[in-house]
Amino acid sequence: MRVDNLVEEVGADYADAVLPGQHWEKRAFTDCDFTEADLREFVTTGCTFTRCDFTRTDLGESKHHATAFRQCTFDRTVLTRSSFTSCSLMGSNFVDCVLRPITFTEVDFTLASFVKAPLYDLKLGGQRFRETNLSEADLRNTDLSQADLMGARLLDTKLEGADLRGGHRGL
């Protein structure tokens, strides 16, 4: 269905799809399954993914601009060398993902979950982590300067050497 040049898909099955290097623009996906899909070097611009499953998906070297991943599941997902610019990962859950190296610029992580995630040595300054679950995450030597950490859960989070200057902390 097309609405104002926006292509919308609901419940589509992309499980095991092989789509490396594709560029998707102004597309919306709700309740879609991308389990074990090959989406390496994938590019999205102005897309929306709502409640989509990216379990064991390879998103390595992908680039996302002004794209929203709302309440999505990333379980054992490969995100190495990926970049997210002006994106929202609101309410998404990251479990045992390969995240490093990764680039986040102007990203909203509100209500996301990164329990036990290896986020050390990353530049996350200025990002929004409102009510994000970072319990047991490894944030050693991570730049969190100017980050919004209001309500973030940091139980047993490793913060040695992290730069927390100027951040909003309602911890």
Q: Which residues contact 73 (CB under 8 A, 6 or more apart)?
A: 52, 53, 54, 55, 92, 93, 95
Domain extent listing, the chain: 2-105, 113-171
Confidence band for 7, pLDDT divided at 50, 70 and 90: confident
| Higher per-residue pLDDT: 4 or 165 | 165
- Which helix H or strand E contains 7, and what residues bound it? strand 6-10
pLDDT for the residue 168: 66
**pLDDT tens digits, 109-148:** 999 999 999 999 999 999 999 999 999 999 999 999 999 9
* Strand pairing class (82-85; 68-70): unpaired
Mean pLDDT of the chain: 94
For residues 87-105, average pLDDT: 97
Give the rounded percent of residues in the chain with a pLDDT score beyond 70: 95
pLDDT, residue 166, reads: 85
Q: Residue 2 above 90 pLDDT?
A: no
Closest Cα partner for 110 from 63, 159, 56, 69?
A: 69
113-171 in CATH: which number? Answer: 2.160.20.80
**Second CATH level (architecture) for the domain 2-105:** 3 Solenoid (2.160)
Across 16-39, average pLDDT: 97
> For the segment 36-75, what is each residue's pLDDT rounded down to a tens digit?
999 999 999 999 999 999 999 999 999 999 999 999 999 9
Q: Quickly tell me which residue has 């479990």 as its tokens.
A: 95
What mean pLDDT is predicted for residues 2-20? 86
Same fold across 2-105 and 113-171: yes
Helix (H, G, I), strand (E, B) or coil at 61: coil
